[in-house]
Amino acid sequence: MKTMHRLLSLAAGVVLAVPALQAAPAPDTRVTGVIRADQSGPVIDRNIYGHFSEHLGRCIYEGIWVGENSPIPNTRGIRNDTVAALRKIKVPVLRWPGGCFADEYHWKDGIGPREKRPSMINTHWGGVVEDNSFGTHEFMDLCEQIGAEPFISVNVGSGTVQEMMEWIEYMTSDADSPMTRLRKANGREKPWKVKYLGVGNENWGCGGNMRPAFYADVYRRYNTFAKNYGGNRLYRIACGPSGDDTNWSDTLMDIAGRQMDGLSLHYYTLPTGSWTGSKGSATEFDEAAWHTTLWRTLKIDEYIRKHSAIMDRHDPEKKVGLIVDEWGTWYDVEPGTNPGFLYQQNTMRDAIVAGLNLHIFHNHADRVRMANIAQVINVLQAMILTDKEKLVVTPTFHVFEMFTVHHDATSLRVDFVTPDYTFGDRAIPAASVSASRDAAGVVHVSLVNTDPNRALDVSLRLSGLEAKSVSGRVLTADAMNARNTFEAPQAVKPAPFAGASLATDTLTVKLPAKSVVVLELK
């Protein structure tokens, strides 16, 4: 899926009713190109639509776990409304227990009778008391209820190899052993299937402040003892770089590339680009902040390219996946909320961020095998926000729901030319387009318009595809900061889309300003 990006071309050829004396030419709104349905790319792994749940703020407690005695309807302590919502977006894989929390988590504290579980202080996230009432059994139950594969991050920073070994044995072995007897005593007869194992988290930072060569050796040691029991096969993910730290990815691939299945990448979108001072408000922003947020989020494309080029050198057969296991927007917390809880609202801007990132992951599906947006509930760019018994889904949730059609579909090449959306002295592409063919042969096209002011006139020739009908849905809103609240939970939601048509071999779309559209061609 190759995109060609050109500089803003001014009025030439655009027919607009502009008064003769008005000097400023109208910006070009035309997006033209070809969907090459006869040129299949890699399969878009459904795990690109993965999620992340950390013991942070109100993600696990309140968002997921309310306990069996809660008046909020629940199944074995897990809230039913959360499960129902997550089933709608077909969460393929769920990462847990962190994050920074993973490197201070001791799994044995989270098993057995809840009233006997020891408490700890969650030093990273608000210094609150963690009572360990949500542990391994509860997490596995959640995964089973929502139909997701578990992705377990083990404690490297403050844990031990033995601790990791015993956890893997506890979860996946069906032999008669001390760990399996303990599991059975805690009510789980059969082992669980655990494929994804993260060996530490951000070990260049909160996971131990290690240097890359040191961590690479630590990784090799942990990996040696990460055993496959019975039929269970682990997919081992090493801690990778943040942003564009190519020294980290190069060193890891050099020293441990042959011992890993995946290398992680973390990249967060901060409107101001600064970790100190204000990161920017989630809801009170102007067009400058809208534009700069999208400009910054698009940088992940460049970072994936850089790390992929390094991985290609060490691993030309692309055996090792690039696992973007933390991504999304990171704003100032909602006023009045605990700064350590990372609770932020979610607007139409986040929906555009989601669409752009997911398209970038599609474009790199040959290397990017999984991505986990941070985080699933009540933290950062969440799918769901809760307030006691109330629950709303966010604009980002809707993009994930609309894009489920791309899960495990075969990507199709799209060549297109887009005008820029320019603000100040920076320009980004106005349009982003992606296409795939699902197992039933149906082609889906998703489109994003980053420009909050102008609709785009999209014209895409269909090569190798005879489509007779087009239908679809659109997510858009009048305001850039439109959002769902507990008072107005349906303010932003997908609607049927009537702006697409087919004529001979061409798909024409009037793509509304600040929108995400998904079309089905049959």
Contact residues: ligand AHR, CB under 6 A: 54, 98-100, 201-202, 326, 374-375, 380
Least separation in angstroms between CB 260 and ligand AHR: 18
Residue from 62, 104, 130, 326 carrying the catalytic annotation: 326
202 catalytically annotated: yes
Least separation in angstroms between CB 270 and ligand AHR: 12
- Which residues sit opposite 122 in a β-bridge? 128
- Whose CB is nearest to ligand AHR? 99
Residue type, 245: D
Closer of 57 and 110 to ligand AHR (Cβ): 57
Residue type, 471: S
302 catalytically annotated: no
Least separation in angstroms between CB 20 and ligand AHR: 55
Per the CB < 8 A criterion, the answer to whether 482 and 429 are in contact is: no
Least separation in angstroms between CB 413 and ligand AHR: 34
- Which residues sit opposite 387 in a β-bridge? 390
Closer of 98 and 240 to ligand AHR (Cβ): 98
Closer of 241 and 452 to ligand AHR (Cβ): 241
Least separation in angstroms between CB 204 and ligand AHR: 10
Q: Which H helix or E strand runs over 86?
A: helix 80-88
Closer of 66 and 380 to ligand AHR (Cβ): 380
Nearest to 237 by CA among 254, 222, 255: 222
Least separation in angstroms between CB 516 and ligand AHR: 24
Closer of 149 and 326 to ligand AHR (Cβ): 326
CA atoms within 13 A on the CB side of 76: 13
Show the CA angle centred on residue 281, arms to residues 449 and 448, nearest 5°: 10
Closer of 54 and 415 to ligand AHR (Cβ): 54
Residue from 54, 62, 104, 202 carrying the catalytic annotation: 202
Least separation in angstroms between CB 375 and ligand AHR: 6
Q: Which H helix or E strand runs over 256?
A: helix 246-256
Closer of 122 and 515 to ligand AHR (Cβ): 122
Nearest to 35 by CA among 67, 61, 3: 3
Per the CB < 8 A criterion, the answer to whether 148 and 91 are in contact is: yes
Q: Using CA of residue 35, residue 40, residue 45, residue 46, what is the dihedral sign?
A: positive
Across the chain, how many H-helices and E-strands are there?
Answer: 10, 27
Query: What is the SS3 string spanning 204-232?
Result: CCCCCCCCHHHHHHHHHHHHHHCCCCCCC
Per the CB < 8 A criterion, the answer to whether 454 and 476 are in contact is: no
> For 490, left (φ over 0), alpha (ψ -120 to 50), or beta?
alpha
Q: How far is CA 53 from CA 102, 287, 407, 462, 484, in A?
A: 11, 31, 20, 40, 21
Q: How far is residue 400's CA from residue 383's CA, in Å, rounded to a whole number? A: 8
Residues with a known catalytic role: 202, 326
